[in-house]
Amino acid sequence: MSTEPLPASSPFLHVHKFGGSSLADAGRIASAARIAAGSPGAHRVVVVSAMQGVTDALVALATAARAGDDTTPAWTALAERHRATALALAGADPAPLCDRLALESEALRGDLEALARATGDAVVRLSERIWGHGELCSAWLMQAALGGEAAGWTRLDTREVLVVRAADMGAQVDRDASLHRLRAWRTRHASTHIVATGFVARTTDGEATTLGRNGSDHSAALLADLFDAASVTIWTDVDGVLSADPRLVPDAVCLPALSYAEACELAYFGAKVLHPRTLAPLQARGIPLAIRNTLAPARPGTRIDARGEAAASPVKGLSIVDGMAVLELVGSGMTGVPGVAETLFAALHDAGVSVTMISQGSSEHSICCVVREVDAGRGRAAIDAAFAEAIAAGQVEGVRMQDGLCVLAAVGDGMVGVHGVAARLFDGLAQARVNIRAIAQGASERNISVAIAQAHATRALRAAHAAFWLSPQTVSVGVIGPGHVGRALLEQLAEVIPRLRAEAGVDLRLRGLASSRWMRLGDAPMDPASAAAQLDGDGAVPCDLDAFAAHVRASHLPHAMIVDCSASDAVAERYAGWLAAGIHVVTPNKQAGSGDWTRYAAIMAARRAGGSRFLYEATVGAGLPVVLTLRTLLDTGDTLHGIDGMLSGTLAWLFNRYDGREPFSALVREARALGYTEPDPRDDLSGLDVARKLVILAREAGRPLSLADVEVESLVPDALRSVDVDTFLARLDLLDAPMQARLDAARAAGCGLRHIAKLDSEGRATVGVQALPADHACMHTRLTDNLVQFTTARYAENPLVVQGPGAGPEVTAAGVFGDVLTIAQALGAGPRRSP
């Protein structure tokens, strides 16, 4: 390896900084050393943090020393950890390295003893020296792992070089003094490569100090500036800067490139991988920064430079700052009065309260600011004191305080000049039922910040992340009723969910399944293919619809949906409450749409008030777009004159087959054997199911119709209505003579028989068998086809017809699935794009 000394200014010099997680033990340090040694560049500066957990241990030691506690056990453990690491790294001759670390440990022991006796300024000085001990040891360990001075690696204690001074905005580096000291240091150390301590520095008085917690990144940036480096790489335990905190948004993606401006916004709003002060010295000199993963060094990570990179989404990243509060000054006397904001912020400055976000309405009636929750009480008192006279005079009402908040920030250069970015963010939050307490957007348009309830933080972050197509639109799903339709729906979900996630940006997560007796709840997504089979096994509990709904409406997921595939009136009774709580409801269950009118009105009111969706297409025509077609006609201004058609696949099959050659009873038995009828065919022959469908359509058209208002002809003879199923099936031939007589009469008039539901222009609703002419649309359907005719002002002479298969669990499940996807699309699901 070359031992050519570092030039005064080197475009070939690269700075690498390794964080504590990259230096957690001897194995990690060795891996970091291999990365540094194998990286390109003729000259390298490697900046190290303390080993993982060491700084916390040192802070605890300093606290214990100040309290007069015995620090020997903790000091011994720390010294032994460094010594054990040295033995694992140093090879055949560990003594020199162990001796150096022992000297550092003895110096730490002396500082702890001095701190126990110290008073005044000495407490701060000694504490900061103690806190920086970990970096001193890490530098010795890294230098040894790289081969030491024999391999051209010199150790730099940055307390000899970096000079900082106290300022209002924290410790500020004296660049001129630091550059002067660096040049002097380099005249004494002619070496190709350097291992430097992060975090630590010196004051203008020559005392040891630090750059603040997580300050090693800042150290790397400052050294890159002083050394005039070509680039900086921060090695950490994540792949780069992510679009959101992966602990809150598992689908967060690594951003390939950011501009300095984007990175600054994300850093200041809590992106954990970036220290807020790291970027300033790099941006001033135009030095690019890379964030890469020590555990996966082949991955490219995130590059941060002046240009960044255009992305498909205008927003690149989102961050959450927790533990915030709003202080709001309200009063009509503030309007038009100059200096109000100046007085408010001066009061907060004097109280030492930092303001994160500011919002003021154009009416000037109120001004609010978001501050740290721990500072809110102090800030409120300071503002009250500053406006005491105005409050006493009634010009200002005083300060209102609301805690328990957080700030969500959306960041991206692509937001500049792009229409609808704020609308997409606010719509995503609204869909997730997240209320916004305050809004702020800078003139740069790179950041939109909103204050929201802390309890909604995760849900809001996931909803916003999905709203900008940075991750799939996640919907927590619960299915009730694993019967024929429910099981068919689960099979369809199992088949389609992976494709929806990859291609349509929809992440449907089955988190609950319930029958009338049991339910199974899962925090992790359940496999739809096996969920029904597990309902009676271990993990299933007695069904509790309140607990079921609460689980589906998870606080950490943005959207919730319950799919009711039962025929239960008790389940329909819950719809209004679910909708009001922000749970979308999809169902083929006719009970809600055709049941008690008061309940129906309450369900629709809850849907409107809660902003939730209630879709029930499959209640009328299974997979046919019957309700959608009617809704579209009415919404586009058409006037409904009447509805008629065949609304039962079972009865359609019976009358399509019935031509007198076989008794009607034989066809009923055949239909039952084929599974077209309910187990008790009277449920079909009674006409009540068709009547329910007609009521649903009438209500959709704005007619306050109830089931009792429908004139229903039952095909079940009076003598067979109350007998058991077996007796009914044995005596089915009672249906034959009356039906044959009706068929003969219809044919004599040139007609055929069909089972028809009809709603006329006067609102009269009827269900029963009718004789229809040969040219009627219902005379030309296929077997189990449903057919609905809409006669409207636009379609008066030639009614609009919706026709197709209207029975069968697979078709009905497909109709339910269609409603599920309609809701997902309304929530903002879109194509999956890489940011």
Q: Structural domain tally of the chain?
A: 4
pLDDT at residue 273 is higher than 90: no
The pLDDT-based confidence of 746 (bands split at 50, 70, 90) is: very high
Q: In the numeric block, which tokens belong to residue 583?
A: 């749970």
Q: Tell me: do 795 and 822 sit in the same domain.
A: no
Question: How many residues does the structure list for the chain?
Answer: 835
Q: In the numeric block, which tokens belong to residue 92?
A: 């055949």
- 295 in a structural domain: no
Strand partners, 406: 452
Which amino acid is located at 550 in the chain? Answer: A
Helix (H, G, I), strand (E, B) or coil at 476: strand
Q: In the numeric block, which tokens belong to residue 87?
A: 């033995």
Last residue of a domain, one of 212, 237, 262: 237
Taken in order 461, 467, 473, 479, the sign of the CA dihedral is positive
pLDDT at residue 5 is higher than 70: no
The pLDDT-based confidence of 331 (bands split at 50, 70, 90) is: confident
> 350, exposed or middle or buried, with CB in 10 Å at 0-12, 13-18, 19+?
exposed
Average pLDDT over residues 637-651: 94
Mark whether 316 is an active-site residue: no
The greatest distance separating any two alpha carbons of the chain, rounded to the nearest whole angstrom, comes to 119
Catalytic residue among 17, 316, 590, 693: 693
R_g of the chain computed on alpha carbons: 37
pLDDT at residue 18 is higher than 60: yes
The pLDDT-based confidence of 835 (bands split at 50, 70, 90) is: very low
Q: In angstroms, how far is CA 198 from the centroid of its own chain? A: 35
Q: Which of 192, 178, 231, 150 is nearest to 7 (CA)?
A: 192
Q: How far is CA 564 from CA 512, 521, 543, 558, 686, in A?
A: 12, 16, 14, 20, 24
pLDDT at residue 271 is higher than 90: no
- 300 in a structural domain: no
**Which pLDDT does position 20 carry in this prediction?**
93
| Residue 379 · residue 315 · CB < 8 Å | no
**Which pLDDT does position 531 carry in this prediction?**
92
pLDDT at residue 830 is higher than 60: no
Task: State the CATH number of the domain containing residue 684.
Answer: 3.30.360.10
Average pLDDT over residues 497-507: 86
Q: Tell me: do 494 and 463 sit in the same domain.
A: no
List the single range of 14-23, 109-118, 206-215, 550-559 with lowest mean pLDDT.
Answer: 206-215
Q: In the numeric block, which tokens belong to residue 149?
A: 């001075």
Residue 628, phi then psi, degrees to nearest 5: -60, -40
Average pLDDT over residues 38-65: 92
- Tens of pLDDT, residues 516-525: 999 999 988 9
Q: Tell me: do 230 and 376 sit in the same domain.
A: no
Q: In the numeric block, which tokens belong to residue 616?
A: 């029930």
Residues 6+ apart with CB under 8 A from 38: none
List the single range of 240-249, 490-499, 558-567 with lowest mean pLDDT.
Answer: 240-249
Q: Tell me: do 654 and 578 sit in the same domain.
A: no
Secondary-structure percent of the chain, ordered helix, strand, coil, rounded to 5:
45, 20, 35
- 486 in a structural domain: yes
**Which pLDDT does position 659 carry in this prediction?**
93
Domain with 36 in it:
13-237
Helix (H, G, I), strand (E, B) or coil at 169: coil
364 vs 141 pLDDT, higher one = 141
List the single range of 542-546, 696-700, 713-717, 828-832 with lowest mean pLDDT.
Answer: 828-832
CA distance linking residue 326 with residue 602, whole number of Å: 36
List the single range of 75-79, 243-247, 708-712 with lowest mean pLDDT.
Answer: 243-247
pLDDT at residue 222 is higher than 90: yes
Around 502, how many Cα atoms within 13 Å sit in the side-chain half-sphere? 5
- 140 in a structural domain: yes
| Residue 481 · residue 557 · CB < 8 Å | no
The residue written with tokens 């630090």 in the block is 210
Q: Tell me: do 490 and 561 sit in the same domain.
A: yes
Q: Count CB neighbours of 550 within 10 A.
A: 16
**Which pLDDT does position 508 carry in this prediction?**
92
Q: Which of 236, 249, 252, 247 is nearest to 296 (CA)?
A: 236
β-pairing verdict for 302-305 and 289-293: antiparallel
Last residue of a domain, one of 219, 237, 255: 237
pLDDT at residue 576 is higher than 90: yes
640 vs 421 pLDDT, higher one = 640
- 691 in a structural domain: yes
CA distance linking residue 613 with residue 586, whole number of Å: 8
Q: In angstroms, how far is CA 749 from the centroid of its own chain? A: 65
What does the DSSP 8-state code read for residue 5? Answer: P
CA distance linking residue 158 with residue 136, whole number of Å: 9
Task: State the CATH number of the domain containing residue 527.
Answer: 3.40.50.720
Average pLDDT over residues 225-250: 90
Last residue of a domain, one of 469, 485, 519: 469
What does the DSSP 8-state code read for residue 686? Answer: T
pLDDT above 70 as % of the chain: 95
pLDDT at residue 4 is higher than 60: no
**Which pLDDT does position 8 carry in this prediction?**
45
pLDDT at residue 178 is higher than 60: yes
Q: Tell me: do 591 and 639 sit in the same domain.
A: no
pLDDT at residue 734 is higher than 70: yes
Q: Tell me: do 459 and 564 sit in the same domain.
A: no
What does the DSSP 8-state code read for residue 501? Answer: I
Q: In the numeric block, which tokens belong to residue 419?
A: 């229409």
- 585 in a structural domain: yes
161 vs 808 pLDDT, higher one = 161
List the single range of 7-11, 52-56, 509-513, 609-613 with lowest mean pLDDT.
Answer: 7-11
Task: State the CATH number of the domain containing residue 116.
Answer: 3.40.1160.10
Residues 6+ apart with CB under 8 A from 233: 14, 15, 16, 17, 39, 289, 290, 291, 292, 301
- Tens of pLDDT, residues 597-620: 999 999 999 998 877 899 999 999
pLDDT above 90 as % of the chain: 67
| Residue 463 · residue 432 · CB < 8 Å | yes
Average pLDDT over residues 46-75: 95
Q: Tell me: do 228 and 364 sit in the same domain.
A: no
Average pLDDT over residues 125-131: 94
Q: Tell me: do 375 and 516 sit in the same domain.
A: no
What does the DSSP 8-state code read for residue 251? Answer: T
Residue 437, phi then psi, degrees to nearest 5: -90, -35
Average pLDDT over residues 421-435: 88
Q: Tell me: do 514 and 417 sit in the same domain.
A: no
| Residue 241 · residue 274 · CB < 8 Å | yes
Q: Tell me: do 642 and 579 sit in the same domain.
A: no
Q: Tell me: do 698 and 823 sit in the same domain.
A: no
- 595 in a structural domain: yes
What average pLDDT does the structure give for the chain?
90
Q: In the numeric block, which tokens belong to residue 657?
A: 């087959």
The pLDDT-based confidence of 203 (bands split at 50, 70, 90) is: very high
Q: How far is CA 592 from CA 571, 610, 711, in A?
A: 9, 18, 20
List the single range of 122-126, 154-158, 471-475 with lowest mean pLDDT.
Answer: 471-475
Q: Which residues of 436-455 are buried (b: 16+ CB within 10 A; e: fewer)?
A: bbbebbeeebbbbbbbbbbe
CA distance linking residue 672 with residue 679, whole number of Å: 7
Task: State the CATH number of the domain containing residue 383.
Answer: 3.30.2130.10
Average pLDDT over residues 261-272: 75
- 259 in a structural domain: no
